[in-house]
Amino acid sequence: MQKGKASLLFEHPAYITAMASIAGKKEGEGPLGQQMDMIEQDPMFGASNWEQAESAMQKQTADLALEKGGIHRRDIRYLFAGDLLGQLIATSFGTVDLEIPLFGLYGACSTMGEAMSLGSMCIDAGHADQVLAMASSHYATAEKQFRFPLAYGNQRPQCAAWTVTGCGAVVLSAKGSENQVRVRGITTGKMVDLGTKDSMNMGAAMAPAAWDTIMQNFEDFGVDESWYDQVITGDLGEVGQKILLDFMKSKGHDLSEKHMDCGLMIFDKEKQDTHSGGSGCGCAAVTLCCHILPRLLDGTWHRILFVPTGALLSTVSYNEGQSIPCIAHAVILECGGDRTK
Amino acid sequence: MQKGKASLLFEHPAYITAMASIAGKKEGEGPLGQQMDMIEQDPMFGASNWEQAESAMQKQTADLALEKGGIHRRDIRYLFAGDLLGQLIATSFGTVDLEIPLFGLYGACSTMGEAMSLGSMCIDAGHADQVLAMASSHYATAEKQFRFPLAYGNQRPQCAAWTVTGCGAVVLSAKGSENQVRVRGITTGKMVDLGTKDSMNMGAAMAPAAWDTIMQNFEDFGVDESWYDQVITGDLGEVGQKILLDFMKSKGHDLSEKHMDCGLMIFDKEKQDTHSGGSGCGCAAVTLCCHILPRLLDGTWHRILFVPTGALLSTVSYNEGQSIPCIAHAVILECGGDRTK
């Protein structure tokens, strides 16, 4: 059902029937390490270069999600997936062996939200019985793509984030039970560009996009923060979180007690020297699969708004002096009986 | 309705209620020039660099499609769009002003097929009344992204294609009539990689993906080439066309009288020195909007299979010696009364 300007409320919500998270050594040493399915100690994932490493990680995560769900890949009708690299090479090479019809997506670090949105739409419509939604990032491929060679050892400002090496994958299914997490609705983001130009401060660039999508979600569903147990953004980090909370406050919403950010959960800032927090498609995807979904399943939360945020810049646009357009895609996740009736 | 392994037959097909094509000077001088909505003589589209030029072209094309259809942008619920550039910057920057919820897509030159597929799924499901599907490429941004600086003047082998400067956009709508083109069904491609490594011969790399999707379409719908008036691929070019026809023949399908390729239609090989043909997301998108849809509307054809093909390589994967994984997304387009009953 269409709700408001940019939201859908699903009549046939997709159930998350399987999930998997694989991450790197540093992420494994962070606060969520114990909750991840697998920590790979080798940053190369057994491959011969960084990009193939990320592809291998995607393949392993997809395989693990299917294995955990006892699902054969032939029973997955569509794959919605993406990564941060130019021309989506981590996904393209990582998913060849799956032989699943693929919709390649680019939403920067919002990709997991985009994949779950399209996947849920597909399930709600009856276009598929089961789909896989997946997103990944790798510290080394991202640094190579967007910043400096690792060996150069450049200094990073305190507002910079640390790209997560990790991949998260969920199976969305038409069949499920009240005890499984369901995608109740979505709010699809539009491009938001307030003119921020500092590529080392993505949190500041993305916060207005998160704010825009969350406000749109509140408006479209006629709700406010009280409807959610938590509003969880993707990778705003410390700087972006502060801006988001300020922006929300300016519109009369106090999110301070209800807001979490995957970028602030996945690393221990003091011990891990990750400055503003974690980032990358993998940040929200891994945190979703290893921490958020389990908290919904164990009843800690009943309903949350998951809002991965993406900064759609490239080194070309950055070097041409352009600003950073951003986007955020929100997904309403619920578990347990419907408490709104 | 799900059909076979990878196809959908729509109960509520999306109608193409508006379309627009804008292209560059060279494309305007080609065989389809007279049919394009607008030829921009300035390759910079009034902008200060190539990437902004492509963004400006996207914005103009979207605006023109809406104008031609008499549709306000606020009545478009979703935008499905993409381009060839790293991190989709042509799309990200080009669509900010539209303020339409965006699903950013990357399918290389198959993007128009991917956008129309997802857009039609969305309409069929009732998730939207109207969506916009759009894809663009620009010769200069693509050369800069994938090959050599233009000023270097590198020599191109005869199997190389020429990236089209152009953008095509269609409005897909839940409401329409028999006299409008409708998306009857889709077949979603999977990644196909037969090991081709020559980035100057994309046609050879993509032909197996086109073959895979067309064969899947035939199987899923229980049809063969006789069901279509034309099977039209995106940008296989001369080399790729020959391979596709050979592959089809090996499975007992003679497509020689029914196959067209947008890359072979948009340029005059002899006069325009474009070697194997045109390529890029814009090639299939522009040819669709300026030539294919009008031929369906005027009754020349009743039903065609539109199969944009994409090569998902990047300079990083190429320079690391990797092969070129490819994908093709097929869209069944029909106009006029249903002749299959």
CA dihedral B135, B139, B142, B148 (to 10 degrees): 170
Distance CA B302, CA B294 (A): 11
ipTM of the complex: 0.97
Please compute the mean of the pLDDT values over residues A325-331 and round it to a whole number: 98
The whole-number pLDDT of residue B337 equals 83
CB of A51 within 8 A of CB of A141? yes
Question: Is the CB of residue B258 less than 8 Å away from at least one CB of chain A?
Answer: no
Query: In angstroms, what separates the C-alpha of B144 from chain A's closest C-alpha?
Result: 10
Q: Whole-model pTM?
A: 0.98
Q: Give the pLDDT of residue B1.
A: 85
List, for residues B295-307, the tens digit of each pLDDT value: 999 999 999 999 9
A190–chain B Cβ distance below 8 A for any pair? yes
Average pLDDT value for residue range A52-67: 98
Q: Taking residues A29-45, what's their average pLDDT?
A: 98
Q: What is the largest CA-CA distance in chain A?
A: 58
Interchain proximity B86–A124, CB inside 8 Å: no
Provide the pLDDT for residue A338: 76
Question: Does pLDDT of A137 surpass 80?
Answer: yes
Over residues A190-194, mean pLDDT: 96
Q: What's the whole-number mean pLDDT along residues A195-224?
A: 97
> Is pLDDT of A13 > 60?
yes
- Per-residue pLDDT at B340: 60
Name the residue in chain B with its Cα closest to that of A99: B190
Q: What is the structure's pLDDT at A340?
A: 60
- pLDDT at residue A169 tops 90: yes
Give chain B's count of helices (H) and strands (E).
Answer: 12, 16
Kindly list the residues from chain B whose CB atom is less than 8 angstroms away from the CB atom of residue A321.
none
Amino acid A220: pLDDT? 98
8 Å CB contact of A312 and B88: yes
pLDDT-derived band of residue A322, with 50, 70 and 90 as boundaries? Answer: very high
Computed over every residue of chain B, the mean pLDDT equals: 96
B82 interfacial to chain A (CB closer than 8 Å): yes
Given an 8 Å threshold on Cβ–Cβ distance, is B313 in contact with A89?
yes
Residues of chain B with pLDDT under 70: 339-341
Over residues A132-143, mean pLDDT: 97
Pairing of strands B303-307, A278-279: unpaired
